[in-house]
Structure 1
């Protein structure tokens, strides 16, 4: 009995010892993880979003206009109800400001987010030939060196343990799925509003590993935007076009006053640093933005510690052109090339590791860019033309919908701007294009040569300067913007360019500058399933309503124009502003 009693006592001591050790480990992890939540850091997905059925949002945001007077969303159930109650004098100037500490915006514990920072270890500096480690597979083709002029970084002032010739990162943290919640077949504009509201309230970027002055500047900026005074007096900004014109105006002013961008010098042309290669065609947005960003003396800084944002200056179009192996069906080498680049800059700069890349951004218009950047650059703010919130891991509130612009003249990107007056637009609706994807064949099946008011064609015969296509757009009331292989189409911007009301038929497409613009006030959204009823939907819009929308298209046009030299509120500044705006509202200070 004595031996058995002694055995029981020793067993109890062992159990207590194990429990104490476990408790110490948990406490240690609690203070070490960037979010201070060990359970979420260990087990939760990186981000969570609410199910689309969650309609009982208690917060009211000034960014979401609640008046139905300037919203046009059509589906089978309501297309017969024309929206003709607009009053230009009565639907502006309604501003509702909410405070960031509103208890109703606090996310439930189950929606806590986690992003593991890069592990700080001693390793050999990554060489210019980007041979990283034994576990990194080499690209399928010989990629050009990222940087032939390699210089070893100086010792980090913020991390003195890293000496010259050492890299602060050996392996990038794995990227976890964004959309862990189920997403329905169709994410409506209203659903997108709700998701954006939720992400604004509950999702933050990784806490910085150490504090800099720029963190406090971003926090002060956020507070000023949230408390922006009501301002409807700027003649350059027409209030019904915006979710909250006062917030936009204040944010834009603070961007002009405050924002500094650091551009990484690493990377070999033409994939990096060569905007001239992509200034025309349907991918021109990434080329023109790179050109203006690199030439900017106002926004660019050479001091990384002064930067609020870090630009990764690569072209998704040139990446595909130089590295894709025709007929292979594989993008693995392109994904690896970008991963190697992130390893390179993470090994040379403190900047990536300080924030986990959440203050870095890229601008890419190729359809593949969404997938190519997901594994190594998902923590970045990604300005993407392929803004599919349903299946392409596009995250509202972090990522930016990049306008896809078809630039035909690099010397004069404004050539052919404008269109006929509304009274001279004799065509009800127009579409012409190649049969990409599964939506366009359905559109033609129902409307090609079926109705004289509906000019729906396959690709038009070639003409000098594409005159036939342009003239149709200039002469039509509504321009059909039907998705191709992916949700994006240059027709959205082309319609605005030629002052034709866009009719967007692309489920789950996040329209450009969604966080700023009230798209429902100047565009029509038709679900793909409603294509057979398209004409009735358009005819249900009263002439008065059409005239209001067409005038608003003309007013919003300034935000979608490229200029040889950037001008205030143009497309370059709007892209940069959306990136800035998303960064400000995701800032996460060091506690």
Structure 2
């Protein structure tokens, strides 16, 4: 079980190094990339910063949300897990998920496509559950949210040949895989961000294609949401308001929409692992003595990416975390004392 490995790592750190006890682990970081992030973290490490893709604060969804039973953490006893939430926005951070690089999207600058070319009001393409062909059989998949969205706005027929109750031409909610998925997102104004068995990567898809994210997952943080001003570039809709989705989105006037699109365009690279992609390009250049087209496309990008943003967040926390102000310890910086 994953919890056991983390507990063994904790035991090793405490026994072999002096650093843990001086801050009770608060200056340590642990990465949990599972669908439900740090929900299964052992209680001993909870003081640390959790790096996750799933920011469930458990304010609404208090139990395991996955429909994939091997990952369900409800049965972990409290004497091992403790009683912590899956995510604490005061100390933890949701990082973007890795997305397979799409050179065509970068070359076409889909992220920069203007408002006039975004004809679809709302777009979501993904698994919609048991009512659809090849859908996940569990009713609990996506906490039932994708199913609820499809019941209202499904734009392709389900197994019974039925469309959504409010199906409308400029709203696409489909389970049909599309070879032009990215272009379709780039032709849309708003794009749905809903969970799967935990995180789903739809926030990243929206941002990388310049589409305003519409987040439908109550009490669950998205990448950098406790750092960035999400109201400036994303929309949150309560799960209970899914039937009112279209009317809510139609209330945003063109001035607000243009402002949000502009903000998406200004920060989209913070959801892209550009530096990792370029490191691979360097490796392949050394092996094959040439640059592929994808390497050339990504080398043209220059704004802060995921890793740069992560370092900026850590730097901010270094000087602003309240608990650090209680320390009386002088930390070595490596600089000459005359310069500090």
Question: Would you call these one fold, judging by a TM-score over 0.5?
Answer: yes
Q: Deviations over 1:301-334 (max 9, x none)?
A: xxxxxxxxxxxxxxxxxxxxxxxxxxxxxxxx22
1:418 paired residue number: 110
Native 8 Å contact 1:414 1:562 kept in 2: no
**How many Å apart are 1:416 and its aligned residue?**
6.5
**Range with greater deviation from structure 2 (543-552 or 528-537):** 543-552
Map 1:303-342 onto structure 2 (within 5 A). 333-342=1-10
C-alpha spacing 1:472/1:451, structure 2 compared with 1 (3 Å): same
Post-superposition shift, 1:484?
Answer: 2.5
Q: Deviations over 1:273-295 (max 9, x none)?
A: xxxxxxxxxxxxxxxxxxxxxxx
Question: Shift of the alpha carbon at 1:489?
Answer: 3.0
Q: Mark the runs of 5 or more structure 1 residues left unpaired by the alignment.
A: 1-332
Cα deviation for residue 539 of structure 1 reads: 0.9
Confirm or deny that 1:501 pairs with 2:212: yes
Secondary structure of 2:214's partner? strand
Question: Does residue 575 in structure 1 map to residue 310 in structure 2?
Answer: yes
Worse-superposed segment, 449-458 or 400-409: 400-409
- Residue matched to 2:297: none
1:543 aligns with 2:211: no
Change (3 A) 1:354 1:366: same
Q: C-alpha displacement at 1:443, in angstroms?
A: 0.2
Whether the aligned pair in 2 keeps the contact of 1:474 and 1:500 (CA below 8 Å) is yes
User: Of the two structures, which has the highest relative contact order with CA contacts closer than 8 Å and spacing of 6 or more?
Assistant: 1
1:137-176 C-alpha deviation (Å, 9 max, x unpaired): xxxxxxxxxxxxxxxxxxxxxxxxxxxxxxxxxxxxxxxx
Partner residue in 1 for 2:181: 469
CA distance in 2, matches of 1:413, 1:374: 41
Q: Deviations over 1:404-435 (max 9, x none)?
A: 242246x9995775243211111111001113
CA distance in 1, matches of 2:45, 2:262: 39
Residue 242 (structure 2) aligns with: 531
Give 5+ residue unaligned stretches, structure 2. 63-84, 130-140, 156-166, 280-301, 330-340
Counterparts of 2:91 and 2:304, CA distance in 1: 21
Write the distance in 2 (CA, Å) between the matches of 1:414 and 1:364. Answer: 29
Aligned-partner SS, 1:398: coil
Q: 1:538 to 1:369 in 2, by over 3 A?
A: closer
Q: How does 1:377-392 map to 2 (within 5 A)?
A: 377-390=45-58, 391=62, 392=85
| Counterparts of residues 59-74 of structure 1 (less than 5 Å) | none
In the alignment, the residues of structure 2 paired with residue 376 and residue 573 of structure 1 have an alpha-carbon distance, to the nearest angstrom, of 29
Q: Which residue of 2 aligns with 1:373?
A: 41
The answer to whether 1:553 aligns with 2:264 is yes
Question: SS in structure 1 opposite 2:29?
Answer: strand
Distance in 2 of aligned mates of 1:356 and 1:433: 42
Cα offset for 1:374? Answer: 3.9
Change (3 A) 1:337 1:503: same
Q: 1:404-483 residue pairs with structure 2 within 5 A?
A: 404-408=97-101, 418-419=110-111, 420-434=113-127, 435=129, 436-437=141-142, 438-449=144-155, 450-458=167-175, 460-461=176-177, 467-483=179-195
Q: 1:370 to 1:415 in 2, by over 3 A?
A: farther
- Structure 2: distance between partners of 1:422 and 1:357: 47
Is 1:354 the counterpart of 2:22 in the alignment? yes
Distance 1:453-1:568 versus aligned 2 partners, 3 A rule: closer
Look up the SS of the partner of 2:225 in the other structure. Answer: coil
Structure 1 residue 477: deviation in Å?
0.8
Alignment of 1:221-240 (within 5 A): none
The one of 48, 73, 96 aligned to 1:403: 96
Contact 2:189 2:211 in 1 (8 A): yes
Contact 1:417 1:497 in 2 (8 A): no
**Which whole-Å deviations, capped at 9, do the CAs of 1:457-514 have from their partners, x for residues lacking one?**
12x23x5xxx32112101111111122233x331112111101111111111223223
In the alignment, the residues of structure 2 paired with residue 516 and residue 351 of structure 1 have an alpha-carbon distance, to the nearest angstrom, of 27
How far the C-alpha of 1:530 sits from its partner, in A, is 0.5
Counterpart of 1:514 (choices 210, 225, 249) is 225
Q: Which residue of 1 aligns with 2:162?
A: none
Map 1:176-325; keep pairs closer than 5 Å: none
Distance 2:191 2:153 in 1: 14
Question: What TM-score comes out, normalization by structure 1 length?
Answer: 0.40
Kindly provide the CA deviation profile for residues 525-571 of structure 1, in whole angstroms up to 9, marking residues without a partner as x: 11111110111111111122211111111011132221134866321
1-structure distance, mates of 2:263, 2:120: 19
